[in-house]
Amino acid sequence: MKLSSWILFVCLPFSALAQQPQNAIQRAQQRTFTVATIPQPGEVLTLSQAIEQAIGKNYQIQINRSQEQIARNNYSKGNAGYLPSLFFNGNTSGNLQSFRQTYLDGLRPPQEAHGVFNRTTNLAMNLNYTVFNGYARSSTYTQLRQLLQISTVTTRANIEATVASIATSYYDVVRQLQRLIAFSQALDISRERLELARANYEVGTRSKVDFLSAQVDYNTDSAALIAQEQSLRNAKTLLNTQLVREPLAEFAVRDTIIVRPNLELASLEQSLNTNNPLLVSAVLNRTIADLNVRLASAQQLPLVTAQTGYSYQLQDNQGGFGVSTGRTGSLNYLITASIPIFNGYNLKRQIQNARINTVIAKDQENNQRLQLQLALTQTFQAYQNSLKLLNLEVLNNQLANQNVDIAYDRYRIGNSTFVEFRDVQRNSIDAQTRLIEAEFNAKAAEIELLRLSSTISQELGQ
């Protein structure tokens, strides 16, 4: 009996171990979903669809487009003063009188009347035209064109910023989903370990501490998965808000984060200097400052205006005094020339201030160019560094996964403790997380480079 009991005691642990799968880690990994297979409620939302919806609904872009339409309406020769102004004026007046009159000379008998109606009607057509105003009209017309161009590039700047923001938020959803998958895989591995620890504890080959530690680690991974689910919901809520739709609207993503490794600094700088809307706007503002100098200087030159008009007057006097009825028509004109001589040095001050504003506008343009180049250089350095980290983390993730396989086999046969296995598992989770973060950071830097170079709309198909 003692010998048979001893044999049974020895064989039970091995029978329990034999029931455990030899490839438990691989099985846990196979159970884990991918971005393409994980169940997601709602219809699939692609990046191009998200960008299209955002551009069509974004309130700031709609405001910019309305402001652009106002600037387009203002850009006219009439608003610049090239066209004359024509006015029509008309009025009619009348009164109803009753009177009784006597005369001093006594030669005429007294006169008396009741309900006498008198009426006077005036009609006039006036034409006003500025013959010369110191070439201010041409400067104003050019300025209106520049303002239209500024409004246009402002709209483009907001569109490009919106595209960049939507792309970053979209890939953040993908990132959070990938993290959810990684935490789900970690939970599956912890479940395999918990089942193994329970079986070993029940047959007496492992202590209760080992089983309880596996339970604690399983609960910890469950909590991490729940927190990551909330992070995913937050990322989706933010994207929904940017798309101007219901914040809790469900949607699915199928895209993965693929980083372009071939961006070149020289071509990005060339595109920035040529196309960046913030820099283009600074150049246009400097041109407007130059035009303001011309407008201020134009006030030193004579102002010549011309007016002409035709007036018509109709009188109907039933009172019996003076003219009974009459019609008068007249054509008139007026040419005025004014030359500024002295106005308390205010004109001189305006010209000086306008010239100072040109210096300010030039400095603002140079500063804008410097800041954009700084941002481009720093972002490109971050982009290159992210690519290096990405390549390194890909290798680390592969090694970490292999290490988990080896550590689980060692833990299963009793050659390592639960602490050692947990450290290996935690390192694997960290490696996956770092890989996901490296992919997202590299993609975010790529998106920012495309925005700074003003090529993001073309690259993302808009």
Residue 257: which H helix or E strand, with range? Answer: none
pTM of the model: 0.83
Domain assignment present for residue 311? The answer is no
- pLDDT the model gives residue 460: 79
- pLDDT the model gives residue 6: 31
- pLDDT the model gives residue 15: 40
Can you tell me the distance from the alpha carbon of 50 to that of 53, in angstroms, rounded to the nearest whole number?
5
16 has pLDDT over 70:
no
Domain assignment present for residue 116? The answer is no
Q: Which residues pair with 313 in a beta bridge?
A: 122, 328
304 has pLDDT over 90:
yes
- pLDDT the model gives residue 62: 95
Domain assignment present for residue 376? The answer is yes
Can you tell me the distance from the alpha carbon of 317 to that of 322, in angstroms, rounded to the nearest whole number?
8
Is there a contact between 116 and 99 (Cβ–Cβ < 8 Å)? yes
101 has pLDDT over 60:
yes
Range of the domain at 374: 20-84+135-301+344-459
Is there a contact between 291 and 139 (Cβ–Cβ < 8 Å)? yes
3 has pLDDT over 50:
no
Sheet-wide strand order for 303-317: 85-101, 111-132, 303-317, 325-338
Is there a contact between 7 and 13 (Cβ–Cβ < 8 Å)? no
Domain assignment present for residue 122? The answer is no
Domain assignment present for residue 150? The answer is yes
- Which one-letter amino acid corresponds to residue 411? Y
Q: What are the pLDDT digits (tens) for 68-80?
A: 999 999 999 999 9
Domain assignment present for residue 317? The answer is no
Q: What are the pLDDT digits (tens) for 172-189?
A: 999 999 999 889 888 888
- The CATH number of residue 427's host domain is 1.20.1600.10
Domain assignment present for residue 306? The answer is no
- Model confidence band, residue 17 (pLDDT cutoffs 50, 70, 90): very low
Domain assignment present for residue 186? The answer is yes
Question: How many independent structural domains does the chain possess?
Answer: 1
